[in-house]
Structure 1
């Protein structure tokens, strides 16, 4: 990482950490609960983002709306925790807002430099992650955007800043690449291990991260937007095939790579409904819908509900 980018990333983290003590508070607009209260710990329900007003919607898998919640550009839920990534007025300005079951206002609010891209919650509900697009990195050409991913621990308020500040290892060697970008975090159940995408030197990598050591290790190339299965044995992801993306599932134990029956061009971080089913968002005649497809490569896509950014509510642990 070059000096200009390091200085910028460090300044951003210091600013976030310095403001966290002030902004970690009960603030923000109350959730709209006109159709009922968000039940974030209701197992099996879908949480999506409405295309019209960017409003969080909670539905059954057959499309029955149960509740609506806060405005979010990206959202994710697990174990009674909802993370909401919302854009603010002005260029490249966002907030990460974290809601807990039974609360109409955010428990945590964090300022973020960038436009909303991805969001995730760990299986325990203790960790939240986000990805934003931003501009201004010294290595990027004029008009180009980069991505930044961050992680926050709700238990003790630990802010891990940008993944750019972690030590990165590729083929066993410490990487000194100046153009690293990170996006698409997905968590394991130990509240320490996570996976993400790293781009550097014109290639994308699946990386495994360790919060305790603040290290990232590259595992495989041509992997974007990973999503770890509930049994933690496989990763659903999008893979560049020619000039388009194709959803695949990677077996972490054997290395076997299975293309899914989803159509080409799906640009989403998939989510697992269960160990056998992958969900994703895709536009149909200009409207986003949630589809599912078997994780073993068989079958055909099934349209579930209108909306984007799908995740599945799980029981509070």
Structure 2
């Protein structure tokens, strides 16, 4: 028991240090250069500047162009249609508190939620009607590592807020799955804005869950799938597959056959990938945004340096 308490305390210290680093980095670079007036006009690759925390943009047709950086600072960022979401840690809050900012096509704030935790993942449904996120939180009694996740959903039109999908009933092998340590992360919605996929983590294992938001129930499809990202045509999921402790391989899963294809990126990718289109997958790695073919061919290519959290406007 003494060892467990020490381990939990050490984890809490590390989590606090991580939050402090994020907040300090954002404050130190607050005055870095004039702010551009960005919009969600089509044909852009948007991203979070790693060095400044500011949201930037380059043309999809010329990602090597000089980026335009806005005044908006986020720790995670995502877009779809004329909706964007920005996750930003509130400076000086311990335990950490994150502002979830729902933005319009001109980066105006439509809605704000302040929730406990530090940002991990963010997405917007393809129709722009829902935003969703994953936050790391500390203090759950069942969390042996000292932290757990909260995956939430906000419906833009109705204002409906689901702070956590932790109570989502999930069936595996036809039977309802119950466990005190269930966590969800990495939500990705289909084009209909109702069907979604997410990772379920429990007892040291991860599962791909397919769920119906309206009925609020789901089922597991297969094991060892984290941070799924649904392709625009709705037939495949890009995900990170754990190959060793702290190491993941970027792969694509065909939903109909459950056939898996490892992508040409052989380095460990700890990110929720993004589909640029039905043929190309984007991801953040080594403080840059990269692209790789979705069929396992080719080689990775760097698109933008000093960048993370890629987002594409259609």
TM more than 0.5: yes
Aligned 1:219-230 pairs, distance under 5 A: 219-230=221-232
Which residue is 1:3 aligned to?
A: none
Instruction: Give the 3-state SS of the residue equivalent to 1:216 in structure 2.
Output: strand
Instruction: Give the 3-state SS of the residue equivalent to 1:164 in structure 2.
Output: coil
Aligned 8 A contact 1:60 1:66 in 2: no
Aligned 8 A contact 1:225 1:269 in 2: yes
Which residue is 1:115 aligned to?
A: 118
Find the aligned partners of 2:217 and 2:121 in 1 and give their Cα distance.
Answer: 21
Which residue is 2:300 aligned to?
A: 301
Q: TM-score, normalised by structure 2?
A: 0.84
Q: Report the CA distance shift for 1:70/1:35 in structure 2 as closer, same or farther (over 3 A).
A: closer
Which residue is 1:248 aligned to?
A: 251
Which residue is 1:58 aligned to?
A: 57
Deviation at 1:33, TM superposition (A): 10
Deviation at 1:44, TM superposition (A): 3.0
Q: Is the counterpart of residue 95 in structure 1 residue 62 in structure 2?
A: no
Cα RMSD (Å): 1.6
Deviation at 1:248, TM superposition (A): 0.2
Find the aligned partners of 2:255 and 2:244 in 1 and give their Cα distance.
Answer: 24
Q: How many residues align?
A: 276
Which residue is 1:23 aligned to?
A: none
Aligned 8 A contact 2:48 2:55 in 1: yes
1:210-253 Cα deviation digits (max 9, x unpaired): 11111121111100000000101100000011342000000011
Deviation at 1:159, TM superposition (A): 1.0
Runs of 4+ in 1 over 4 A off after TM superposition: 32-35
Deviation at 1:35, TM superposition (A): 5.2
Which residue is 1:182 aligned to?
A: 184
Q: Report the CA distance shift for 1:239/1:296 in structure 2 as closer, same or farther (over 3 A).
A: same
Find the aligned partners of 2:70 and 2:33 in 1 and give their Cα distance.
Answer: 6
Deviation at 1:263, TM superposition (A): 2.4
Aligned 1:130-145 pairs, distance under 5 A: 130-141=133-144, 144-145=146-147
1:1-53 Cα deviation digits (max 9, x unpaired): xxxxxxxxxxxxxxxxxxxxxxxxxxxxxxx994532221x223111111112
Unpaired runs of 5+ in structure 2?
1-31
Q: Report the CA distance shift for 1:33/1:160 in structure 2 as closer, same or farther (over 3 A).
A: farther
Aligned 8 A contact 2:35 2:71 in 1: no
Find the aligned partners of 1:103 and 1:216 in 2 and give their Cα distance.
Answer: 34
Deviation at 1:112, TM superposition (A): 1.0
Q: Is the counterpart of residue 37 in structure 1 residue 40 in structure 2?
A: no
Which residue is 1:210 aligned to?
A: 212
1:285-315 Cα deviation digits (max 9, x unpaired): xxx000100000001000000200112112x
Deviation at 1:138, TM superposition (A): 1.2
Aligned 8 A contact 1:33 1:68 in 2: no
Instruction: Give the 3-state SS of the residue equivalent to 2:276 in structure 1.
Output: strand
Which residue is 1:76 aligned to?
A: 78
Q: TM-score, normalised by structure 1?
A: 0.84
Which residue is 2:312 aligned to?
A: 312
Find the aligned partners of 1:265 and 1:186 in 2 and give their Cα distance.
Answer: 21
Find the aligned partners of 2:115 and 2:103 in 1 and give their Cα distance.
Answer: 17
Find the aligned partners of 1:129 and 1:221 in 2 and give their Cα distance.
Answer: 23
Aligned 8 A contact 1:260 1:293 in 2: yes
Find the aligned partners of 1:95 and 1:305 in 2 and give their Cα distance.
Answer: 26
Instruction: Give the 3-state SS of the residue equivalent to 1:36 in structure 2.
Output: coil
